[in-house]
Structure formats: C-alpha cells, structure tokens
Amino acid sequence: MFGIWGHKQAAEITYYGLHATQHRGQEGAGIVSNDGAELLIHKDVGLLNDVFGRPDLGQLNGEAAIGHVHYVTNQDTGYENVQPHLFHSQSGSVALAHSGNIMNAHDLRGELENEGSIFHTKADTELLAHLIRRNGKEITEPGIISAFKKLVGAYTFLILTEDKLYAAVDPFGIRPLSIGRIGESYVVASETCAFDLVGAKFDREILPGELVTISRAGIESARFAVREQRHLCAMEYVYFSRPDSDLNYVNVHASRKRMGIELAKEAPVEADVVTGVPDSSISAAIGYAEQTGLPYEMGLIKNRYVGRTFIKPSQEMREQGVKMKLSPVRGIVEGKRVVMIDDSIVRGTTSIRIVKMLKEAGAKEVHVRIASPPIKNPCYYGIDMSTREELIAANKEIEDIREVLGADSVAYLSPDGLEKAIVKDKTINQGICNACMTGQYPVGTEENKQSFLTN
Ligand code: SF4
C-alpha cells in the first residue's frame, strides 16, 4: 500500500511507490486520487504495469492519493476485490485500502446487515466503511477510532477522504506501515523500499494501534489501542519483504543474513559449496557461507519474468511457476556437495523441484537448510497459508520431509535462532509474531478471537 498527501504528482508518485511494492501482491492494482473536489479511481486485475498506462495516471489529478496492489488470500480474486474501494454517499466520498485479515469480519457483517446495512462487495474495506458510517454521516477521527475498536485481526489501513488521509496499524503491529517525507509532503508505505524509489525520507513507523491523520493542518496522531509488545509478522523478514526495506528499524537483508549465520551455527554440514534460492534466500545463504567458511556460489538462477510462486493462487499455477522460474547452474553444482539454503518451506512444491533440478545438474549431494522454523500452523493474519493440510511440516517429521524432497539432509532454523536474527532490541518493542511456526497466536485463532477485542 502507498499513500501521499500534499504533492502535485500524487498519482504518479503513488504509481512508483506501488511499483516498489509489487512483490506484495500481483493479482490487481488500483489508485484513488483526490482532485480537491472529488475522489477519482482507476483499478483492475493484473500487474501494476498492465493496469496503468500514462493516460490512466494522467486522469488521476490532485495532490493526494492512495494505492494498493492486491494479494490473494481465500481465493478472493476478481475485479470486485481489487483495492482501493471507493464509496460515495450524500455526506461525501471515502476510499479505503487495507492489507491483512479482519478475523471477526463475518460476525460484524452479520451485525451490520441486521441493522439494515447493505453490502456490495465481500471486502473488509467495505466493512470498515460501514462501521465508520455507523458512528455518524461524516467521516471523523472519533468515528474511525470507534470502528477500529470493533476489529480483531492483523491489518494496516489507508483511508482517503476529500480533506484527509488516515493511516492505521492493528493493535499488535503485525503488518508494517511507515511514514516518510518528500519535502513538505507526507508519504505512507507498507515497505520503506518504496520511499527510496520516490525520493522520500523515512520518518518513522506507525505504532501498533495508532491512527495517523494527515491534512492541510499537518500530521496528528491518536492511539486506539496501546499494547506492551509489538508482534510484527516474522514472515515479512523471512520471505515477504524486499531486502532493501527496514521493518521496525531492522533491515530485512541484514536480518536474513543473521538467519543464515544462526542456521550455520545450529546445523553445519560437510559440503563443498553453499547456494541460495533466488531471490529471497540469497541473504541467508551469504550468512551461512560466511559462518561456515564454505564458498557461496550462484548455483541457481532465476528467470526474472515469472512471478513469485508462493503468491500464485492455485496449486496448478504454482507448480507451473516453479518450472518456469529457476534453473540450476551445472558448472557450479556438478560433482559437488551442495548446501541449498531456502528461506522457508510452506507447501514443499518449490523445494522438491529444486532438489531434483540440482541432482539432475550433477550435484553429488544436496543438503537442504531452511532459514526459518518449520511452518506447522495456518496464518489467520493475512498470509496465504490458511489450512494445516497444505503445510508440509504440519503433517510430516523432518526425516519424512527429507525423503519427500529427495535431499541428503534437511535442517531448519530454531524459533530462538529466528528471534535472535530479527529482534535487535526488545526495549524498543521489536517483538515478532511467529504463530505459524510455534502455534502461539498473538491475536488468537478463529475459535477465541473475540477475547482479543481492544476494549
Ligand atoms: S502466523 Fe506467520 S505468516 Fe501469519 S502473521 Fe504470524 S508470522 Fe506472519
């Protein structure tokens, strides 16, 4: 997600901001701008470049905008799910974009429908729009705060009205959102790599349970929840975010490298060469090589023009994606004992294929080392791994996983090792969520979510 307030090229800058965060969602893209009189929208399914041409951007006038790239969870594909969503009423228009998952959305929707609300989409953004309007016709800060207090889940929201831009983070800070500056203008982005691309300077992270309001009057902050501990999604560091982003004041590449170092301490192996699965595992592979003293080599190369396999919606598409995406470098792996570092194993599809590729290219041994703990539990907080059945580590012991992968050995990083690699300083609230690995859910599960209401 990306938002901007107070810049003449608002839509264009939002486009570039979204470009930097395209890896966060590839199923759709959209921008809403505020031209001072009304909110204007352009969105569609597809990659950002397919959705936006220069004429589309040229029509999005105004000095404020929000944009979103759509990441599919629960098969919510299709135009109607592409964000931002724009709602009109007699009291004005409002555009909303969000990332994450509202766990009590179904219950709240039922309550609102019983009170007479009519929903046009299945989107959580529409749910928030109804909750805000329940507190009065005008969109106001108290109305938004009261709406957020009804939500249980992991989320970040951007809300654009005709005179304000709001940005909010869930009470546990599971999803990231940062504020930056371009001169006098404010920008908000899911990842700081977007700031670098648009020439913005990082200002600060939005705090868990914080609502930031940006308007002509400047920037204001209010809290709708204050917790002792942040629980930023560990998978943001492991896999999801770009290495050049900083999350909670920790650089993603540096944390991945430390994951590799910790993994090497925990699970060394006799080998000739270390290689990483591009791109997200390369940092950990460099760390592993550095710690063991083994040479790091590019044993696998990536075809740049194929999307990420993990965020493709169906299993069939994922398998096709893996085949098109990676190739082994025979000259590097032939006759060698290879340590293959991967950031994580979710379903196992990619790892099976890669081990096979490396062996077919002549690798004598393939030792799989995973720079995060086994993923055994579903995520209820907005990452697409919603059932235990699809998770290889939920159903198999390590030796069985080794057999399925066709590897010579398999080892994972421990939860302690992962925490050591990510959390530099607990006193500045750098806690993480690792529920998919440990089963300790900071915002509860489907069964007990109600007890996690803010008040
Ligand atoms: S359960 Fe896993 S994927 Fe979901 S928010 Fe927590 S760490 Fe991230």
Interval 300-320: pLDDT, tens: 998 876 555 545 556 555 555
In the DSSP assignment, the letter for residue 377 is S
In the DSSP assignment, the letter for residue 416 is H
Q: Ligand 1: does its nearest atom lie under 6 Å from the Cβ of 418?
A: no
Structure tokens at 81: 């799910």
pLDDT of residue 410: 98
At residue 32, does pLDDT exceed 90? yes
pLDDT of residue 384: 82
pLDDT of residue 227: 76
Q: Ligand 1: does its nearest atom lie under 6 Å from the Cβ of 185?
A: no
3-state SS, residue 83? coil
Q: What is the DSSP string of 319-376?
A: HHHHHHHEEE-HHHHTT-EEEEEES--SSSHHHHHHHHHHHHTT-SEEEEEESS----
pLDDT of residue 396: 93
CA distance 21 to 189: 9
CA of 94 to the centre of ligand 1 (A): 30
pLDDT of residue 320: 58
Q: Ligand 1: does its nearest atom lie under 6 Å from the Cβ of 436?
A: yes
pLDDT in tens, 354-402: 999 999 999 999 999 999 999 999 999 988 876 788 899 998 999 999 9
- In ligand 1, which atom is closest to the CA atom of 234? 7
pLDDT of residue 350: 86
- pLDDT, averaged across the chain: 90
Tell me if 170 sits within 8 A of 156, measured CB to CB. Answer: yes
Structure tokens at 190: 């899911």
CA distance 307 to 325: 8
* Contacting residues for 448 by C-beta, under 8 A, at least 6 apart: none
- In ligand 1, which atom is closest to the CA atom of 154? 5
Residue with tokens 């569609």: 44
- In ligand 1, which atom is closest to the CA atom of 442? 6
* Contacting residues for 212 by C-beta, under 8 A, at least 6 apart: 166, 167, 168, 179, 188, 206, 219, 220, 221
Strand partners, 96: 85, 159
pLDDT band, residue 81 (cuts 50/70/90): confident
The amino acid present at 116, given as its one-letter code, is G
CA of 234 to the centre of ligand 1 (A): 6
At residue 66, does pLDDT exceed 80? yes
**Mean pLDDT of the 212-233 span:** 92
Model confidence pTM above 0.85: yes
pLDDT in tens, 248-286: 999 999 999 999 999 999 999 999 999 999 988 999 999
CA distance 96 to 176: 17
| CA distances in angstroms from 108 to 33, 75, 319, listed in the order given | 29, 21, 37
* Contacting residues for 142 by C-beta, under 8 A, at least 6 apart: 135
| CA distances in angstroms from 151 to 99, 132, 160, 321, 380, listed in the order given | 14, 12, 19, 36, 14
Look at ligand 1, atom 2, and give the residue with the nearest C-alpha: 436
Strand partners, 267: none
Strand partners, 365: 337
CA distance 79 to 260: 40
Q: Ligand 1: does its nearest atom lie under 6 Å from the Cβ of 381?
A: yes
pLDDT band, residue 53 (cuts 50/70/90): confident
pLDDT of residue 62: 96
pLDDT in tens, 112-157: 999 888 888 888 888 999 999 887 778 899 999 999 999 999 999 9
pLDDT of residue 443: 85
Residue with tokens 């009057």: 217
Percent of the chain residues topping a pLDDT of 70: 92
**Mean pLDDT of the 197-218 span:** 96
CA distance 224 to 211: 7
